[in-house]
A and B are shown apart, each in its own frame.
Chain A
Amino acid sequence: MNWSFPVHPKTLSLATPVVLMFSIPLAALGSLVALILTGNSLINLNTLTGFLILLGVVVNNGIILIDYTNILRKRGNRVHRALMTAGVSRLRPILITASTTVIAMVPLAMGQAEFVSVIGASFAITVIGGLTLSTLLTLVFIPTFYIGLEDALKWFYSLNWKNKLIQLILFTLMIFLIYTYIDKFLWKLITTILTIIIIPSGTWFVMNSLRKARETVISTDENINIYIQSLVKIYERENRWSREWKAGARIRKRLGLERQYNSFKDMGQIAWQVPLLGYIIYFTYFYLDKGFWIFLFSMGTWFILSGIWTSFSKLITNLNAKRERRWLKTMSGILDIVVFWIIPLLNLIWFLHKWENLVVVLILGILWFSGLLIYKTGQKLTRENIDIYRLEGRFKGLRKTFYKIVAVVPLIGKKKKPFKALSCVSLNIGNGMFGLLGPNGAGKTTLMRIICGILEQSYGKVWINGLDTQKMREELQGLIGYLPQEFGSYENMTAHEYLHYQAMLKNIIDVKTREERVTYVLNAVHMEERRNDKIGSYSGGMKQRMGIAQILLHLPRILVVDEPTAGLDPRERIRFRNLLVELSRERVVIFSTHIIEDISSSCNHVAVLNKGKLRYFGKPIDMTKEAEGHVWQFNIPSRDFGVFVEKHLVVHHMSEGDNVRVRVISEFSPWEDAVNATPNLEDAYLWLLRRKNFPGSVNNEKSN
Chain B
Amino acid sequence: MKTKSLYNISNLIFKMIVYNLRIIFANKFIWFLAGSVGFYMGLSVIYVFSNDVSKMGDLYGVFLFSGLLLVFYPSVFGVQNDQDARTIEILFGIPNYRYKVWLVRIVLIFAIAFIIMLVFTFLSSVLIVKFRFVNMTAQVMFPVLFLGIMSFMLSTIVRNGNGTAVLMIIFGLFFMILSDGLHKSQWNIFLNPYELPWDVNETTWAIIALKNRIILVTGSIIFLLAALYNLQKREKFM
The chain A residues found within 8 Å of chain B, CB to CB, are: 205-206, 208-213, 215, 449, 452-456, 473-474, 477-478, 480-484, 486-493, 497, 500-502, 504-507, 509-511, 547, 550
Closest CB-CB distance, A217 to chain B, in whole Å? Answer: 11
Tell me which of A206, A477, A493, A504 contacts B22 (CB under 8 A).
Answer: A493
Q: How far, in whole Å, are A482 and B101 apart by their CA atoms in the complex?
A: 16
Closest CB-CB distance, B85 to chain A, in whole Å? Answer: 4
Q: How far, in whole Å, are A131 and B168 apart by their CA atoms in the complex?
A: 38
14 A-B pairs in the complex with CB atoms less than 8 angstroms apart: A210-B228, A482-B89, A484-B90, A486-B86, A488-B90, A490-B85, A490-B87, A493-B19, A493-B22, A493-B23, A504-B19, A505-B97, A510-B8, A511-B8
Q: How far, in whole Å, are A492 and B18 apart by their CA atoms in the complex?
A: 13
Among residues 34 to 89 in chain B, which have CB atoms less than 8 Å away from a CB atom of chain A? 85-87, 89
Q: Check B85 against A210 for contact (C-beta < 8 Å).
A: no
Q: Which residues of B contact A506 (CB under 8 A)?
A: 94-95
Q: Check A487 against B235 for contact (C-beta < 8 Å).
A: no
Q: Check A505 against B232 for contact (C-beta < 8 Å).
A: no
Q: Residue among A205, A481, A490, A491 with the most chain B CB within 10 A?
A: A490
Decide yes or no whether B12 CB sits under 8 A from chain A.
Answer: yes
Q: Check A455 against B238 for contact (C-beta < 8 Å).
A: yes
Q: Which residues of A contact B15 (CB under 8 A)?
A: 500-501, 504
Decide yes or no whether B28 CB sits under 8 A from chain A.
Answer: no
Q: Which residues of A contact B131 (CB under 8 A)?
A: none
Supplied contacts A455-B238, A487-B90, A502-B94, 13 more A-B pairs, CB within 8 Å: A205-B229, A213-B96, A481-B93, A488-B90, A489-B87, A493-B19, A501-B16, A504-B15, A505-B101, A509-B12, A510-B8, A511-B11, A547-B90
Q: Check A212 against B229 for contact (C-beta < 8 Å).
A: no
Closest CB-CB distance, B3 to chain A, in whole Å? Answer: 12
Q: Check A474 against B101 for contact (C-beta < 8 Å).
A: no
Q: Check A487 against B89 for contact (C-beta < 8 Å).
A: yes
Decide yes or no whether B211 CB sits under 8 A from chain A.
Answer: no
Q: How far, in whole Å, are A506 and B12 apart by their CA atoms in the complex?
A: 12
With A488-B86, A504-B15, A509-B9: A206-B93 Cβ-Cβ less than 8 Å: no
Q: Check A209 against B95 for contact (C-beta < 8 Å).
A: no
Closest CB-CB distance, A681 to chain B, in whole Å? Answer: 30
Q: Which residues of B contact A453 (CB under 8 A)?
A: 234
Interface 0/1 of B1-14, CB less than 8 Å to A:
00010011101100
Q: Which residues of B contact A477 (CB under 8 A)?
A: 95-97
Interface 0/1 of B162-189, CB less than 8 Å to A:
0000000000000000000000000000
Q: Which residues of B contact A480 (CB under 8 A)?
A: 93
Of all chain B residues, which has the CB nearest A551?
B93
Of all chain A residues, which has the CB nearest B10?
A511
Closest CB-CB distance, B1 to chain A, in whole Å? Answer: 12
Q: Which residues of B contact A474 (CB under 8 A)?
A: 232
Q: Which residues of B contact A493 (CB under 8 A)?
A: 19, 22-23
Q: Which residues of B contact A497 (CB under 8 A)?
A: 19, 22
The chain B residues found within 8 Å of chain A, CB to CB, are: 4, 7-9, 11-12, 15-16, 19, 22-23, 26, 85-87, 89-90, 92-97, 99-101, 225-226, 228-229, 232, 234-235, 238
Q: Check B12 against A454 for contact (C-beta < 8 Å).
A: no
Q: Check B89 against A454 for contact (C-beta < 8 Å).
A: yes
Q: Check A500 against B86 for contact (C-beta < 8 Å).
A: no
Of all chain A residues, which has the CB nearest B99?
A212
Tell me which of A210, A215, A491, A550 contacts B225 (CB under 8 A).
Answer: A210
Q: Which residues of B contact A482 (CB under 8 A)?
A: 89-90, 92-93
SS class of chain B's interface: helix, strand, loop or mixed?
helix
Q: Which residues of B contact A210 (CB under 8 A)?
A: 225, 228
Q: How far, in whole Å, are A488 and B235 apart by their CA atoms in the complex?
A: 18
Q: Which residues of B contact A206 (CB under 8 A)?
A: 225
Closest CB-CB distance, B10 to chain A, in whole Å? Answer: 10
Q: Which residues of B contact A484 (CB under 8 A)?
A: 89-90, 93
Of all chain A residues, which has the CB nearest B228?
A209
Q: Which residues of B contact A491 (CB under 8 A)?
A: 26, 85
Closest CB-CB distance, A538 to chain B, in whole Å? Answer: 14
Tell me which of A481, A490, A509 contacts B8 (CB under 8 A).
Answer: A509
Q: Which residues of B contact A478 (CB under 8 A)?
A: 95-96
Q: How far, in whole Å, are A482 and B229 apart by their CA atoms in the complex?
A: 21
Q: Check A455 against B93 for contact (C-beta < 8 Å).
A: no
Q: Check A489 against B90 for contact (C-beta < 8 Å).
A: yes
Q: How far, in whole Å, are A206 and B92 apart by their CA atoms in the complex?
A: 21
Q: Check B235 against A492 for contact (C-beta < 8 Å).
A: no
Q: Check A483 against B8 for contact (C-beta < 8 Å).
A: no
With A481-B93, A487-B87: A504-B16 Cβ-Cβ less than 8 Å: yes
Q: How far, in whole Å, are A205 and B94 apart by their CA atoms in the complex?
A: 23
Of all chain A residues, which has the CB nearest B92?
A454
Q: Check A454 against B235 for contact (C-beta < 8 Å).
A: yes
Q: How far, in whole Å, are A501 and B99 apart by their CA atoms in the complex?
A: 14
Q: How far, in whole Å, are A266 and B228 apart by their CA atoms in the complex?
A: 54
Q: Check B19 against A501 for contact (C-beta < 8 Å).
A: yes
Q: Check B96 against A212 for contact (C-beta < 8 Å).
A: yes
Q: Which residues of A contact B99 (CB under 8 A)?
A: 212
Tell me which of B11, B97, B232, B238 contacts A211 (CB under 8 A).
Answer: B232
Q: Which residues of B contact A505 (CB under 8 A)?
A: 94, 97, 100-101
Q: Which residues of A contact B238 (CB under 8 A)?
A: 449, 454-455
Of all chain A residues, which has the CB nearest B16?
A504
Of all chain B residues, which has the CB nearest A476?
B95
Tell me which of B12, B23, B90 contacts A504 (CB under 8 A).
Answer: B12
Closest CB-CB distance, B4 to chain A, in whole Å? Answer: 8
Q: Which residues of A contact B19 (CB under 8 A)?
A: 493, 497, 500-501, 504
Closest CB-CB distance, B61 to chain A, in whole Å? Answer: 30
Of all chain A residues, which has the CB nearest B224?
A209
Of all chain A residues, which has the CB nearest B163?
A408
Shortest 6 CB-CB distances between A and B: which pairs? A488-B86, A213-B95, A482-B93, A209-B229, A484-B89, A209-B225
Q: Check A490 against B86 for contact (C-beta < 8 Å).
A: no
Closest CB-CB distance, A636 to chain B, in whole Å? Answer: 48
Q: Which residues of B contact A454 (CB under 8 A)?
A: 89, 92-93, 234-235, 238
Q: Check A455 against B235 for contact (C-beta < 8 Å).
A: yes
Q: Residue among B85, B95, B96, B229 with the most chain A CB within 10 A?
A: B95
Of all chain B residues, which has the CB nearest A489?
B87
Tell me which of A213, A488, A492, A507 contacts B87 (CB under 8 A).
Answer: A488
With A211-B232, A511-B11: A490-B97 Cβ-Cβ less than 8 Å: no
Q: Check A492 against B225 for contact (C-beta < 8 Å).
A: no
With A211-B232, A509-B12: A490-B23 Cβ-Cβ less than 8 Å: yes
Q: Which residues of B contact A215 (CB under 8 A)?
A: 95
Q: Check B96 against A205 for contact (C-beta < 8 Å).
A: no
Q: How far, in whole Å, are A329 and B139 apart by their CA atoms in the complex?
A: 69
Q: Residue among A209, A455, A507 with the most chain B CB within 10 A?
A: A209
Q: How far, in whole Å, are A211 and B101 apart by their CA atoms in the complex?
A: 15
Closest CB-CB distance, A198 to chain B, in whole Å? Answer: 11
Q: How far, in whole Å, are A509 and B87 apart by their CA atoms in the complex?
A: 22
Q: Check B26 against A492 for contact (C-beta < 8 Å).
A: yes
With A492-B22, A493-B22: A473-B87 Cβ-Cβ less than 8 Å: no
Closest CB-CB distance, B15 to chain A, in whole Å? Answer: 6
Q: Check B85 against A456 for contact (C-beta < 8 Å).
A: no
Q: Check A483 against B225 for contact (C-beta < 8 Å).
A: no
Closest CB-CB distance, B98 to chain A, in whole Å? Answer: 9
Of all chain A residues, which has the CB nearest B226?
A209
Q: Which residues of A contact B4 (CB under 8 A)?
A: 510
Q: Which residues of B contact A456 (CB under 8 A)?
A: 235
